[in-house]
Amino acid sequence: MNRLLPVAVLLAGFLASHAIAQTKGLPVKGVRGWLIEQRENDKYCNASRDYKDAADENRGYAFVLTYSADRIVIVVVYDGWEWEKADGNLSVDLSTDTGGIIMKKSRWEVLDKTAIRGVFDFDQKVLDGFAGAERLSVDAGDDEDDFIEVEIPQATRMLAALKSCQENRR
């Protein structure tokens, strides 16, 4: 299970450098805008999406979700963040545009100045919270600059593809 953490760190690094398209793996087609894959050396499947938002000074956003029977790992990258302390912790609220609160005051780790990661015990309710959503609200502090909305279109289809990948992983 400790292997999930390095996987999420590596994946966040790939996303932050926009190199996700260069990874080798078994991408699953059919969920537009998402990359669902089990990379060559990984045990678990990942769902990832990155994009630039013209309405936000063309800043980059990325979202990564992976899970196992024991853990759920979520990584959020936003070029507009400037976290001061890597390895610091944040209290984060997650909710969706469908009105669903996924987590309140959950503990997240700062990976670098633009990326945070949450590692949680597996809870199907967390995954179910993404169903039907198109946008994810990430509130990582008291400052309005710490609040972002990440586009997660077709989240229900992404979750189904991720589940299929998990069930059929090598």
Q: What number of residues does the chain have?
A: 170
Which neighbouring-strand residues pair with 71?
121
pLDDT surpasses 50 at 22: no
C-alpha closest to that of 75 among 9, 14, 137:
9
Instruction: Write out pLDDT tens, residues 27-42.
Output: 555 588 999 998 788 8
The residue extents of the domains of the chain are 4-167
Q: pLDDT tens digit string along 80-93?
A: 999 987 778 999 99
4-167 CATH fold: Immunoglobulin-like (2.60.40)
Q: Residue 11: pLDDT above 50? A: no
pTM of the model: 0.82
Confidence band, pLDDT 50/70/90 cuts, at residue 3:
very low
Rounded to 5 degrees, what are φ and ψ at 36?
-110, 120
